[in-house]
C-alpha cells in the first residue's frame, strides 16, 4: 500500500471540493502543492487519522530493514514490539475517526489473531464498513479503485479473500474474489492472484481457464504455480510438467523458493509491491500457495524429480549466495 | 459394512465345500455341512480348496497381522508382524499370481510415496477389473443363479472393489479430490450396496471440493435411499461439519459436532486427541457402526480436512477448532489426562506434539 500517495490524493481531492470545480491543470498544480507539504492540507479528523496511519506504515517499513541480522528470538521480540506500536497508532487514528478503514484493518492484523479468528473479524469489518461508509460500487469510472476513498474497504475485502484461502475456505475466497473483480476490474489489489490459487485448490479447470483468459494469458508466478498444481491434481501429468517448466523458466528463483520456502510475515495491510518477474514475486506466490501445496503432499517431491527443476533451484541458490537447508536435517 | 477378511475366507471355503456335497440327499448334505465349522477352524487342510482360496487365506492372515495387530504392538513385535505379513503375501502371490489383494497390499509397503502407490494402482486398475469381471461372468454362466452362485459372483468382484476403494482413498490423500470422487463413484456403481463404504471417501472429497450439491446427492440422493444405513455416520457428519466451518457457519458446525458427540461414545475425547492411524492395507478396518472405534477411524481419515490451512499451532484450522470446541464439553481432569497422554506419546515417538504439515519455517 502506497499510503503517502493515497494521502496526497485524498487531500488534493478534498481541497479541490472546497475550492469548487478545478480544471485538470489546476488540480495537478494543487496536487503538487499537497505533495510538497501534505500536513498543511489536513483539515479534518478523517484525514488526520489517515495521515497517522500513513505515518505508522512508513515507520513500520523502516523498522523492518535490519530483520535479517536478528536471530529468531530477537526477531520475535522485534516483531511483537512493531505490531504493538502499529496497534497503538491505529487506536490513536481511530480516536479521531472511528471508521478509518485502514486503521481498523491494520488493528486487526496487528493483533496477530489466528487466521481462523481473523476471518470472522474481517467479515464483521466488511459489514461494518458497508454500514458506515455505504456499500462499494464500481462507480462512474467502472472501477472502485479509482475512488481513493473506497480503497480501504477494497483492501479489507482483499485481506478477507486471502484469509479465507489461508483457512481452507475456498468457496468463500472465490466469492470474495468475484466480488472484488466486479467492483474493481482493473484489480490493482491482485485479487486474481488469490483467485488463481483458489481455483487450483478447488480443481476448477473451467474457472481457471476463464481467469487466465481474463488475464490475457500473460502469466505470473501465481498463475504458473496454480496451473502446475491444478494439472497435477487433475492427474494430467504432461500438462503439469509443462506448467512447472513454465514456472521455472519465467519466475526468477521459482524453483528455489518452491523447494526452499522462506518465511513471509503478515501482509500489513496488503501484498507488498513487487517487480514483475522478480524473486520477490515468486517468494510471495509460493508463500501464499503454501497451504495448498501442503495439501498436495507429494507435489514438491514430484516437482523436484522433474528434469532440470532441482538443478535450476540449486543453481539459483549458488548464483545468489542463498542458504540451502536440508529438509531431512534435524 | 466394510470387508472382513476372516469372514470372506470362511465364505470362500464354505462355498467350495458346499459345491462338493451331494445335493441329491439334503439330509446327508446338512450333516456334512455341520462339520464344516470345526474343520475350517482346526483341520483346514482337509477341506477342498483352490490355490486362489489358499492365497486368500494367507491374505486374510496377513491382514489380521498388519491391520488389526500391528497398531497395538510394541516396536520389537511390530517388526515381526510386518515381516510375517509380507512373507504371507509373497507366498500368496506364489500360489496365485492374480491375487490382487496381495499385490495391492505389497505395493502399499513397496511404494515410497502416496504418489507412487497411487500411480501403481491406476496402472493396474483396468487389468484387475477385467480379471474380476471374467471370473464373475464365468461363475454366473456355469451355475444356476441360486444364492450360493450369487455369493460366489459377489466374492469374485471384491478384490476389484477393494482396489478401486484404495485408489479413491489414495487420490484423496494425494490432494486429487476430483479423481477421488470419480473413483468412489465407480466403486458405488459397481456395488450399489457399497460394501467398501466408498461413499465415506466420496463424502470427504465433496467437502474438500466444497461441493455441497454433490454431497447432498451422495448422502440423500436416489442411490442413498436404497442403502440400509442412513447418512448419519461419522464420515457424513464430519463432511457436513467441515463444509459448515468452511462457510463460516459456526453455529451449524457446532450443531453437527454436538450430533457426533451424542451419537458416538467418548467422541469429545476422540476429537481432542485426533489420532492418526495408518490406513488398513487390506481395506478400511471393519468396526462396529456407531462405536468409538468407528469415530476414531473416521477422524483419522478426516486428516485431509482437519489438517488443512494455516493455524498458529500448525495443526490445521479445522483440527484446532474442533479440538477446542470438544474440549469445552470435557471436565478439566479429563483434559489434563489427555494432555499427559499426548505428551507421553510425543516423547515415545520422539516427535513434538506439533504434527503440522506446513513448510516454510523461518
Determine whether the interchain pair B359/A172 forms a contact, defined as Cβ–Cβ distance below 8 Å. no
**Cα–Cα distance between B98 and B163 in angstroms, integer?**
13
pLDDT of residue B357: 33
Determine whether the interchain pair B321/A75 forms a contact, defined as Cβ–Cβ distance below 8 Å. no
What residue of B is the nearest CA neighbor of A202? B209
This prediction has a pTM of 0.94
A328 CB near a chain B CB, below 8 Å? no
What residue of A is the nearest CA neighbor of B206? A202
pLDDT of residue A327: 64
Most confident of A51-65, A175-189, A316-330, B59-73: A175-189
Give the confidence band of A102 by pLDDT, cuts at 50, 70, 90: very high
What secondary structure, in 3-state letters, does chain A show? CCHHHHHHHHHHHHHHHHHCCCCHHHHHHHHHHHHHCHHHHCCCHHHHHHHHHHHHHHHHHHHCCCHHHCCHHHHHHHHHHHHHHHHHHHHHHHHHCCCCHHHHHHHHHHCCCCHHHHHHHHHHHHHHHHHHHCCCCCCCCCCHHHCHHHHHHHHHHHHHHHHHHHCCCHHHHHHHHHHHHHHCCCCCCCHHHHHHHHHHHCCCHHHHHHHHHHCCCCCCHHHHHHHHHHHHHCCCHHHHHHHHHHHHHHCCCHHHHHHCCCCCCCCCCCCCCCCCCCHHHHHHHHHHHHHHHHCCCCHHHHHHHCCCHHHHHHHHHHHCCCCCCCCCCC
Q: What is the pLDDT of residues A50-89, one digit of tens each?
A: 999 999 999 998 888 777 788 888 889 999 999 999 999 9
**Nearest by CB to B317, which of A167, A202, A293?**
A167
pLDDT of residue A230: 98
**Nearest by CB to A290, which of B176, B247, B359?**
B359
A307 CB near a chain B CB, below 8 Å? no
**Nearest by CB to A298, which of B174, B304, B321?**
B174
C-alpha grid cell for residue B141? 454362466
Mean pLDDT by runs of 10 across the 362 residues of chain B is 89 87 72 81 84 94 92 88 95 96 95 91 97 94 80 94 97 97 96 93 98 96 86 96 98 98 97 92 93 96 97 94 96 93 80 38 35
Determine whether the interchain pair A72/B247 forms a contact, defined as Cβ–Cβ distance below 8 Å. no
Determine whether the interchain pair B246/A297 forms a contact, defined as Cβ–Cβ distance below 8 Å. no
Residues of B in contact with A111 (CB under 8 A): none
Residues of A in contact with B310 (CB under 8 A): 115, 166-167, 290-291
Determine whether the interchain pair B178/A295 forms a contact, defined as Cβ–Cβ distance below 8 Å. no
Q: What is the pLDDT of residues A232-252, one digit of tens each?
A: 999 999 999 999 999 999 999
CA distances from A110 to A85, A87, A128 (A): 9, 6, 19
What residue of A is the nearest CA neighbor of B248? A120
How many CA atoms lie less than 13 Å away from B203 in the CB half-sphere? 24
Residues of B in contact with A290 (CB under 8 A): 310, 358-360
What's the mean pLDDT when you consider all of chain A?
A: 94
Determine whether the interchain pair A116/B309 forms a contact, defined as Cβ–Cβ distance below 8 Å. yes
| Mean per-residue pLDDT, A167-173 | 98
* Residue pairs spanning A and B at CB distance below 8 A: 98
A235 CB near a chain B CB, below 8 Å? yes
Determine whether the interchain pair B310/A167 forms a contact, defined as Cβ–Cβ distance below 8 Å. yes
B321 CB near a chain A CB, below 8 Å? yes
pLDDT of residue B57: 95
Going from N- to C-terminal start, the domains of chain B cover 1-21+31-110, 121-231, 233-349
pLDDT of residue A182: 97
Mark B241-259 as b/e (b = at least 16 C-beta within 10 Å): bbbbbbbbeeeebbebbee
pLDDT of residue A329: 54
Determine whether the interchain pair A123/B248 forms a contact, defined as Cβ–Cβ distance below 8 Å. yes
What residue of A is the nearest CA neighbor of B362? A263
Q: Which of residues 12-41 of B touch A (CB under 8 A)?
A: none
* ipTM of predicted complex: 0.94
Task: Tell me if B282 sits within 8 A of B5, measured CB to CB.
Answer: yes
What residue of B is the nearest CA neighbor of A198? B209
Amino acid at each position: 500500500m502506497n499510503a503517502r500517495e493515497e494521502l496526497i490524493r485524498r487531500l488534493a481531492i478534498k481541497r479541490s471540493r472546497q475550492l469548487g470545480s478545478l480544471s485538470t491543470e489546476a488540480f495537478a498544480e494543487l496536487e503538487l502543492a499537497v505533495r510538497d507539504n501534505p500536513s498543511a492540507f489536513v483539515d479534518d479528523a478523517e484525514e488526520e487519522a489517515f495521515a497517522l496511519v500513513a505515518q505508522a506504515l512508513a515507520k513500520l517499513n523502516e523498522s523492518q530493514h535490519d530483520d535479517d541480522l536478528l536471530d529468531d528470538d530477537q526477531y520475535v521480540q522485534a516483531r511483537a514490539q512493531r505490531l504493538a506500536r502499529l496497534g497503538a497508532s491505529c487506536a490513536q487514528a481511530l480516536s479521531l475517526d472511528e471508521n478509518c478503514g485502514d486503521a481498523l484493518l491494520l488493528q486487526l492484523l496487528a493483533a496477530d489473531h489466528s487466521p481462523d479468528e481473523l476471518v470472522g473479524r474481517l467479515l464483521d469489518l466488511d459489514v461494518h464498513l458497508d454500514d458506515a461508509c455505504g456499500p462499494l460500487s464500481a462507480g462512474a469510472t467502472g472501477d472502485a479503485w479509482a475512488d481513493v476513498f473506497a480503497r480501504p474497504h477494497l483492501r479489507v475485502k482483499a485481506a478477507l479473500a486471502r484469509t479465507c484461502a489461508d483457512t481452507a475456505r475456498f468457496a468463500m475466497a472465490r466469492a470474495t474474489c468475484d466480488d472484488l473483480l466486479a467492483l474493481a476490474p482493473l484489480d490493482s489489489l491482485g485479487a486474481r492472484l488469490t483467485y488463481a490459487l483458489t481455483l487450483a485448490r478447488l480443481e476448477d479447470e473451467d474457472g481457471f481457464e476463464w481467469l487466465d483468459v481474463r488475464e490475457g494469458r500473460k502469466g505470473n508466478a501465481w498463475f504458473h504455480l496454480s496451473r502446475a498444481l491444478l494439472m497435477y491434481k487433475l492427474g494430467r501429468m504432461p500438462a503439469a510438467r509443462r506448467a512447472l517448466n513454465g514456472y521455472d523458466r519465467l519466475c526468477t528463483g521459482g524453483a528455489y523458493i518452491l523447494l526452499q520456502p522462506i518465511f513471509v510475515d503478515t501482509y500489513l495491510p496488503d501484498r507488498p509491491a513487487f517487480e514483475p518477474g522478480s524473486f520477490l514475486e515468486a517468494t510471495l506466490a509460493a508463500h501464499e500457495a503454501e497451504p495448498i501445496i501442503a495439501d498436495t503432499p507429494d507435489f514438491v517431491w514430484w516437482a523436484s524429480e522433474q528434469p532440470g527443476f532441482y538443478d535450476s533451484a540449486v543453481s539459483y541458490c549458488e548464483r545468489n549466495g542463498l542458504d540451502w537447508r536440508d529438509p531431512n536435517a534435524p | 459394512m466394510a470387508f472382513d477378511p476372516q469372514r470372506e475366507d470362511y465364505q470362500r471355503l464354505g462355498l467350495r465345500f458346499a459345491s462338493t456335497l451331494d445335493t441329491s440327499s439334503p439330509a446327508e448334505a446338512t450333516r456334512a455341512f455341520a462339520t464344516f465349522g470345526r474343520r475350517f477352524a482346526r483341520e483346514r487342510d482337509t477341506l477342498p480348496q483352490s490355490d486362489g482360496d489358499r492365497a486368500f487365506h494367507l491374505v486374510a492372515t496377513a491382514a489380521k497381522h498388519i491391520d488389526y495387530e500391528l497398531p497395538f504392538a510394541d516396536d520389537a513385535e511390530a517388526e515381526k508382524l510386518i515381516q510375517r505379513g509380507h512373507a504371507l503375501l509373497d507366498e500368496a502371490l506364489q500360489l496365485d499370481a492374480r491375487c490382487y489383494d496381495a499385490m495391492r497390499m505389497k505395493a502399499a509397503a513397496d511404494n515410497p510415496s502416496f504418489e507412487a502407490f497411487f500411480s501403481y494402482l491406476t496402472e493396474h486398475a483396468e487389468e484387475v477389473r477385467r480379471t474380476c469381471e471374467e471370473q464373475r461372468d464365468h461363475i454366473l454362466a456355469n451355475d444356476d443363479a441360486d444364492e450360493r452362485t450369487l455369493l460366489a459372483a459377489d466374492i469374485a468382484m471384491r478384490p476389484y472393489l477393494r482396489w478401486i476403494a484404495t485408489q479413491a482413498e489414495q487420490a484423496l490423500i494425494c490432494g486429487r479430490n476430483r479423481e477421488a470422487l470419480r473413483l468412489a463413484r465407480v466403486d458405488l456403481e459397481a456395488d450399489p450396496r457399497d460394501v467398501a463404504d466408498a461413499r465415506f471417501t466420496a463424502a470427504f472429497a465433496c467437502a474438500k471440493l466444497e461441493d455441497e450439491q454433490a454431497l447432498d446427492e451422495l448422502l440423500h440422493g436416489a442411490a442413498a435411499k436404497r442403502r440400509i444405513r442412513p447418512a448419519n455416520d461419522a464420515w457424513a457428519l464430519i463432511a457436513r461439519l467441515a463444509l459448515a466451518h468452511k462457510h463460516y457457519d459456526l453455529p451449524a458446525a457446532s450443531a453437527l459436532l454436538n450430533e457426533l458427540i451424542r451419537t458416538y461414545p467418548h467422541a469429545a475425547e476422540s476429537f481432542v486427541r485426533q489420532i492418526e492411524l495408518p490406513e488398513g492395507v487390506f481395506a478400511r478396518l471393519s468396526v462396529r457402526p456407531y462405536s468409538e472405534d468407528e469415530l476414531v477411524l473416521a477422524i483419522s481419515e478426516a486428516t485431509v480436512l482437519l489438517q488443512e490451512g494455516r493455524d498458529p499451532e500448525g495443526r490445521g484450522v479445522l483440527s484446532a477448532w474442533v479440538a477446542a470446541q470438544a474440549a469445552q464439553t470435557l471436565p478439566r481432569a479429563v483434559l489434563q489426562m489427555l494432555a499427559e497422554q499426548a505428551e507421553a506419546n510425543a516423547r515415545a515417538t520422539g516427535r513434538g506434539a506439533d504434527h503440522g504439515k506446513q513448510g516454510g519455517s523461518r
